[in-house]
C-alpha cells in the first residue's frame, strides 16, 4: 500500500481536530493552565459563550488569569462583555484584540454582545490544547512516568508532534524514543498520545529507573523542594 493510501486510510472517518480535542478532554479530563497565556486575543477566544458551555460539560480543570474564575465564566457565559469587564486588561488592549478577532472572523458582534463564529469556536480548542499543565505535588513519590513510542516512518509528523508536546510538558529523554517525568501526569499524557494519533505505537508506564541519579539531578534543579529528600539520600 502506498504512503498516500495509508494516510487516507488513517484519516478516513476521522473527526475534525477541534471535535477530537473536545472529546479527548471529556475522556481524560486533563489540567489546563492559562496563567501564562498572553492577555489578548487567545484568551478572549476562550471567553466565548459557546466555548465555555462546551468546556464546562467536559468536567476538566482550567486555571484562568486576570481575576477570572470558572465560576464567573459559568455564571456569565452568555455575556461576553461582562466577562471582558472582569478581565484585568487595559481597554485599548481589549479593543485591539476584539478588532483582530473580528477581522479574522473568529468573533462577531450582535445586539451589543460578541459571539464566537464557527471558526472561532474551533480555534478556541486549539488554543486550549497548547496550554496543558501538570499539577506539581509537594513532594516526589519516587516513581517515574515513562513514555515509550516506536512509530513507523510514515508517522514522522505524529512522532514529531508527540515529542514536542512531551518536551513542553517537561519530559526528559532517557533513551531514544523513551521519555520520563517524575510527577503524576497520566491524564495529560494520554490526552496528547491520542491527539497525536499515536496510541497504537505508544506506551505509558509508571515505575522505577535503574541508576536514576542523573535524572534526579536534572529535575532537582527545577523542583528542589519536591526532591529534597532524594538529594540528601543520594548525596548530591
Q: Which three cell numbers stand for residue 168?
A: 513542553
Identify whether residues 8 and 83 lie together within a single domain. Answer: yes
Identify whether residues 122 and 19 lie together within a single domain. Answer: yes
User: Residue 110's CB: how many other CB atoms inside 10 A?
Assistant: 7
Of 212, 210, 207, the C-alpha closest to 234 is 212
CATH code where residue 229 lies: 3.30.70.240
Task: Quote the crossing angle between the two packed helices 186-195 and 17-28, to the nearest 10°.
Answer: 160
pLDDT value, residue 52: 81
Instruction: Answer yes or no: is pLDDT of 195 > 70.
Output: yes
Structural domain span for residue 218:
144-233
Task: Quote the crossing angle between the two packed helices 156-169 and 186-195, to the nearest 10°.
Answer: 160
**CA atoms of 164 and 97, how far apart (whole Å):** 28
Mean pLDDT, to the nearest integer, of 144-164?
95
Identify whether residues 21 and 121 lie together within a single domain. Answer: yes
> Quick one: what percent of the chain has pLDDT higher than 70?
82
pLDDT in tens, 46-70: 877 778 888 888 888 888 766 666 6
- State how many domains the chain has: 2
Query: Which position has the higher pLDDT, 152 or 83?
Result: 152
Amino acid at each position: 500500500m502506498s504512503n498516500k493510501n495509508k494516510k487516507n486510510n488513517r484519516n478516513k472517518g476521522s473527526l475534525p481536530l477541534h471535535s477530537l480535542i473536545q472529546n479527548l478532554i471529556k475522556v481524560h479530563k486533563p489540567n489546563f493552565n492559562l496563567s501564562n497565556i498572553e492577555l489578548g486575543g487567545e484568551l478572549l477566544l476562550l471567553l466565548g459563550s459557546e466555548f465555555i458551555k462546551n468546556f464546562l460539560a467536559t468536567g476538566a480543570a482550567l486555571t484562568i488569569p486576570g481575576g477570572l474564575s470558572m465560576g464567573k465564566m459559568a455564571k456569565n457565559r452568555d455575556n461576553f462583555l461582562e466577562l471582558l469587564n472582569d478581565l484585568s486588561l487595559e481597554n485599548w488592549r481589549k479593543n485591539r484584540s476584539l478588532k483582530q478577532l473580528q477581522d479574522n472572523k473568529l468573533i462577531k458582534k450582535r445586539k451589543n454582545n460578541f459571539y464566537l463564529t464557527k471558526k472561532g469556536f474551533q480555534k478556541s480548542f486549539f488554543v486550549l490544547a497548547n496550554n496543558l499543565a501538570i499539577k506539581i505535588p509537594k513532594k516526589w513519590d519516587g516513581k517515574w512516568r515513562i513514555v515509550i513510542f516506536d512509530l513507523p516512518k510514515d508517522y514522522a509528523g505524529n512522532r514529531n508532534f508527540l515529542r514536542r508536546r512531551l518536551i513542553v510538558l517537561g519530559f526528559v529523554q532517557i533513551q531514544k524514543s523513551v521519555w520520563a517525568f517524575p510527577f503524576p501526569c497520566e491524564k495529560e499524557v494520554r490526552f496528547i498520545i491520542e491527539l497525536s494519533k499515536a496510541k497504537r505505537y505508544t506506551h505509558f508506564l509508571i515505575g522505577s529507573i535503574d541508576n536514576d541519579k542523573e535524572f534526579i539531578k536534572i529535575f532537582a534543579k527545577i523542583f528542589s523542594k519536591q526532591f529534597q529528600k532524594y538529594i540528601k539520600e543520594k548525596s548530591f
